[in-house]
Amino acid sequence: MNADSRKKIGPVLAMMLVASAMIGSGIFLLPASLGAIGSISILAWIAASFGAALLAGVFCWLAILDPGASGLFSYIRDAFGPGAGFVAGALYWASCVVAIVAVALAVAGYLGVFIPAIAKPPGLAFGTIAAIWIFAGTNILGPRFVAGLQSWALALGLAPVFLAAVGGWLYFHPEVFMASWNVTGGSALSVVPRAAVMVFWAFLGIETAIVLSTRVKNPGRNVPIATLGGLVIAAIIYMAACAAIMGILPASALAKSSAPFADAAAPILGASIAGVFALCAMLKASGTLSATILLTVETAECEAVLGRLGPASPARPAHRVSTANIVFTAALSSLIVWASVSPTLARQFTIVTNVAVVLSLLVYGSASLALLRLSRSLPQSQRLWAWVLGVGGSLFSAALIAVSEPDLLIYSAGSVLASFGAYAVLRARRAQLARAAIGA
């Protein structure tokens, strides 16, 4: 076994990366965003968990089909051509950049418990940008360091979540939960799908193992283990904790909160314990932020996206990532923080997470369609399961995109067109360089 292989990520660390990528700002800030919907959002959690399971199955089958593939986009490229692979990579990269902002907002929001000026604009923007640059720095130390940081952050950060998911039910008040059932006044058929788009933010990151497959030992075996294991951990924790906290705080209080877990703990356990909760949440979101930056950098450098469009890049060791790319990613994310500034943290969080969800669903749907095309090489018995998952993943992705806000649909369509335009420009540049080389 060579040195690079020993430094790759094993199944347990990969599972922690997947679980931690999902159990991040979603669990710690989504209750605040869902305060504008009400506890009816528990139905959206169930629907989103089912859809995430379909997509997890898609990613597992793709990894089994080609364990040596260089990330998620190589499957889309192999199924539909290099243009589709590039567009999928560009959309996923854009969703990751936006997600960095959302996770950094969670870090700043819980830091605001200790430094109140950071809990609201403009201090919130400065705190969010500072978090981005600090944890961009951790990525310079390499993927293995980020994975280790995630493991420690997951262990610390889950303490308040487990207390809410288990002990929180001792303080659960059914009357509070039911009084906040549907604060919008709209019908369930209109409210639940809208809430499902918001809730699905919690499951972004389910593709972490397959995106980092070149960094994972024995990906054909370990990517499915990490993906399914991470999903099970996240789904159970999410539904138990969020249902409990919605029976402790009314929806109106959640909607105004910048640290809902700490606010729920304060009247029950006191301000000091609430401060401990806030610290744990901040540490957990910090680990997720570091991993999200890693995913963004890996996407920008993915050979499955750019390998056929640019000059051959030098081989990179498995334990290093591009410092220049890390700096560029942090700078771009900082600009998005300023562009999305809103009156409250919950509103800014909702805006950026909804954008990230729709962009990601475009990629997830493409991956599901790719499985349908690539599964023709499977035996008949296995092909049926692949088809069921591929069709289910495609329909779920399309359904959530369809019920998202009209502005997001316009933004997504523009992103797709811009990605195709960028591909055309890069391809023309590649052809020009090739002709020049032949002429020389």
Which SS3 state, helix, strand or coil, does residue 9 take? strand
Q: Identify the pLDDT of residue 91.
A: 86
Q: Identify the pLDDT of residue 6.
A: 56
| pLDDT tens digits, 179-209 | 888 888 888 888 898 889 888 988 887 877 7
What are the residues facing 9 on neighbouring strands? Answer: 216
210-219, 231-240, 282-291, 327-336: the lowest-pLDDT one: 210-219
- At residue 148 the predicted structure's pLDDT band, cuts being 50, 70 and 90, is low
The whole-chain average pLDDT of the chain stands at: 80
Mean pLDDT of 166-191: 85
Percent of the chain with pLDDT over 70: 83
Q: Does the pLDDT at position 3 exceed 50? A: no
| pLDDT tens digits, 6-17 | 567 777 878 877
Q: Does the pLDDT at position 80 exceed 70? A: yes
Mean pLDDT of 308-331: 64
89 Cβ contact list (under 8 Å, min separation 6):
73, 299, 302, 304, 305, 306
Q: Output b/e per residue, 359-372; b: 16+ Cβ within 10 A.
A: bbbbbbbbbbbbbb
Cα–Cα distance for residue pair 140/146, rounded to 1 Å? 9
How distant is the alpha carbon of residue 122 from its chain centre?
Answer: 26
Q: Does the pLDDT at position 309 exceed 60? A: no
Q: Identify the pLDDT of residue 221.
A: 76
Q: Does the pLDDT at position 405 exceed 80? A: no
Cα–Cα distance for residue pair 39/331, rounded to 1 Å? 37
| pLDDT tens digits, 33-78 | 888 898 898 899 989 989 998 998 898 888 878 776 666 778 888 8
Contact assessment for residue 208 and residue 17, using Cβ atoms and an 8 Å cutoff: yes
Cα–Cα distance for residue pair 192/47, rounded to 1 Å? 9
Q: Identify the pLDDT of residue 299.
A: 73
Q: Identify the pLDDT of residue 8.
A: 72
| pLDDT tens digits, 107-125 | 888 888 888 888 888 889 9
How far apart are the two ends of the chain, measured CA to CA in Å? 43
Q: Identify the pLDDT of residue 24.
A: 63
Q: Does the pLDDT at position 135 exceed 80? A: yes
Cβ-based neighbour number of residue 184 at 10 Å: 14
Q: Identify the pLDDT of residue 435.
A: 66
Most confident of 66-80, 100-114, 215-229, 296-310: 100-114
**Side chain identity at 66, as an amino acid letter?**
D
Q: Does the pLDDT at position 1 exceed 70? A: no
Q: Kindly state the tokens that stand for 137.
A: 């720095």
Q: Does the pLDDT at position 298 exceed 90? A: no
238-247, 260-269, 393-402: the lowest-pLDDT one: 260-269
Mean pLDDT of 147-168: 70
Please, where are the H alpha helices in 301-379? Answer: 303-306, 323-339, 345-374
Contact assessment for residue 248 and residue 35, using Cβ atoms and an 8 Å cutoff: no
Q: Identify the pLDDT of residue 151.
A: 65
Contact assessment for residue 385 and residue 400, using Cβ atoms and an 8 Å cutoff: no
